[in-house]
Amino acid sequence: MVKPTPCTISDGACIQLSTNQSWVVRGDKIVYGPVPITHGRKGHETPLGDFPVLRKVKNEWSRPYNAPMPWSTYFTESGIAFHEGSLTDPSHGCIHLDPKAAQYYFTNLSIGETVQVVS
C-alpha cells in the first residue's frame, strides 16, 4: 500500500514543506514521487494554499536573483515556480527539484492544474 500524500487534491501537484517532498497525483493515485525538494528560506517562505499552474518556461532566467531556472512551472502571481535547483540550499520561495523531476513536472502539469502546498 502506497502512503497517500498529505494533500486533499486528487489531481495536480502536492508539496509538503515539513518533509521537503512533492508528488504528482492523478485520480487520487500517486503517479510520481515522492521527490526531494527545497523551498523558501526564512524571509522568503513558500506560501501555503492551493494555486493554479499559471505558465511554463523551459529556459527561464531569474532577473531578481541572476540565476538560471530550467524547467520553470509557475504557480503564483508573485513568481513562485517548480524548477531545477539546489536540493541543499533553500530558495527564495520557489520549489527546487532535481533535473529529472523538474522536467517531469514541466512536461506533466498543465496550465490551470492545482498545486497544493501544505506545511
**Active-site residues: which are they?**
83, 94
C-alpha cell at 98: 532535481
Rg, Å, the chain Cα set: 13
Q: Residue 68's beta-bridge partner residues? A: 61
Say how far apart CA 15 and CA 38 lie, in whole Å: 10
How distant is the alpha carbon of residue 112 from its chain centre?
14
Determine contact, residues 72/56, Cβ cutoff 8 Å: yes
